[in-house]
Amino acid sequence: MPSRDQRPILVVHPDRKTQRIVHRIVGGTFRPVVFADDLATAAARATDTPPFLVIVAHQLARTDAGRTLMEGRDAPCLVLMQDSEPADLGPLLDRGTLSYLLANPMPLLAEELSITVQKLSRRQIFGLEKYLTWGIEIRELTLDDAGHRRALVDEMGEDVQRAGLGPRALAATLIADELLSNAVFNAPVDDAGARLHVDDDRTLARPLAERERVTLRYACDARYLAIEVEDRYGSLDRGTILRCLTKATTRARDQISMDTRGAGIGLATVYGSCNHLVFNLEPGRRTQAIALIDVRFRPAELGNAVCSFGIFSTDLT
């Protein structure tokens, strides 16, 4: 069996044009890339040569054979979802195994596909820099008191306005507030895993000790407005994230509750407010959430589009 660094990328897609586009994008890893038009062929090729990564069309991933391919391999699976509605995501999320989804037609998400593959290949998963143009200015703020959360959000909102991104300011501040709230009130746990501040009054001041301090970073490269929040507990797990994403896909955006008690509704709100949501997990040490808002389109032009996501973990990369 080839070593992990030599294993190929298996692309399973019925459309030959999409196969060629994906090949050009992931070929930059200099890994072998093998193709299959259907799941039976893919299963045979995966058995002959275990893949490093499986990239599969969502219409195939939803089938029983697709589920067997995704779950029966020691390899992550990335689903390509093109021209689809949020309801199409439900059957994939229900399985609890999907970690990487890229929505929208290729080659619009060429960069995101390349970044996802490189993060997995290099085992370097942290940082919003990977999703933006090199050299872009990044603002960094540290939250050292729970009562200052709104002030940090307002400061970021003013920067978004100054950048000429007014229509995105509401979504950006909502995302930052929810992610900061999760990091301050839901992330801290004791040695037994009990959440220490989940029932706290979220309007009161509370000085944050070293490990409790939360970092907010943000930047825009005229393609994406990226918002990153990192805590130092690493208590958010993949199962919780998938449950949150399921909530977001089963409710209209204007029907998601704004109750911030607990991480579930908050993360569902974030997912419904951005175009690509990334979680970088180092269990027991840190959780980093990155929300990407596409600024190339007016918010109304994106309509009810499916939001891409990725759940990366140092345990799995």
Domain ranges for the chain, please list them.
4-122, 128-313
Give per-residue pLDDT as tens, 239-296.
Answer: 899 888 887 777 544 444 434 455 567 898 899 899 999 999 999 999 999 999 999 8
Residue carrying the six token digits 């990226």: 226
Give per-residue pLDDT as tens, 35-62.
Answer: 999 999 999 999 999 999 999 999 898 8
pLDDT of residue 106: 58
CA dist., res. 276 & res. 187, Å (int): 22
pLDDT of residue 257: 42
Query: 146 pLDDT exceeds 60?
Result: yes
Alpha helices in the chain (DSSP H): 16-26, 39-48, 58-61, 64-71, 90-93, 110-122, 149-162, 169-181, 238-249, 263-271, 299-302
Query: 311 pLDDT exceeds 50?
Result: yes
Which is the CATH superfamily of the domain at 4-122? Response regulator (3.40.50.2300)
Alpha-carbon Rg for the chain in angstroms: 20
pLDDT of residue 105: 63
Percent of the chain scoring above 70 in pLDDT: 87
Query: 109 pLDDT exceeds 70?
Result: yes
The pTM (predicted TM-score) of the whole model is 0.91
Q: Which CATH number fits domain 128-313: 3.40.50.300, 3.90.199.10, 3.30.565.10, 3.20.20.70?
A: 3.30.565.10
Q: Between vectors from CA 208 to CA 207 and to CA 212, what angle results, nearest 5°? A: 165
